[in-house]
Amino acid sequence: MSFDDIKQLLIDKFGAGVIVGEETGGLQSALQITPDLIADVCLELRNNPLTYFDYLACLSGVDQGASDGRFEVVYHLTSIPYRLNLVLKVSKQHDRNTDELPSFKSVSAVYRTADWHEREAYDLVGIFFENHPDLRRILLPDDWEGYPLRKDYTNAEYYKGIKID
């Protein structure tokens, strides 16, 4: 199944609004999905016998910077039996306020491995995943302030009296 076939399959199932863009200029083509539909799209791609994307290889949170004001989540899906790879992306504008984090739907009910990937994106980039079963820090201490992979993050000088920078 080709990239265009997968694109058409999603449009047929969810309507033309499911895909808000595509990136075909790089090494691996990507579909930009409407953020509120990402869990449904992943479920369809996993369960559909024509695609069977049974493996979430990677999920990454991305801060596009203060000038862009956008946060993105990138999903690398693999269909092991069909030897296919697919990249999905969702993004939202956000004012960078850490009191209210950018929020996306969790895909952990579709892919169990997303549990840990989403926790990492939450911990390091500050992306909230709705309906995640256990969204908490995974690499940093629970009382750590800020999100180190954000473009505007500044390192603290001390943590609990220990010089860290």
Token pair listed for 38: 């990402």
pLDDT per residue over 96-141, tens digit each? 877 889 999 999 999 999 999 999 999 999 999 999 999 999 999 9
* Alpha helices (H) along 21-78: 38-47
> Rg for the chain (alpha carbons), in Å?
17
Q: Which domains does the chain have, with CATH numbers?
A: 3-152 (3.30.460.80)
pLDDT per residue over 44-77, tens digit each? 999 999 999 999 999 999 999 988 889 999 999 9
Measure CA of the first residue to CA of the last residue in the chain; give whole Å: 50
Distance of CA 138 to the CA centre of its chain: 16
CB atoms inside a 10 Å sphere around CB 90: 22
pLDDT band at 142 (very low <50, low <70, confident <90, very high): very high
- Note the residue count of the chain: 165
Sign of the CA dihedral with 91 first, then 105, 34, and 11 last: positive
Token pair listed for 43: 């479920």
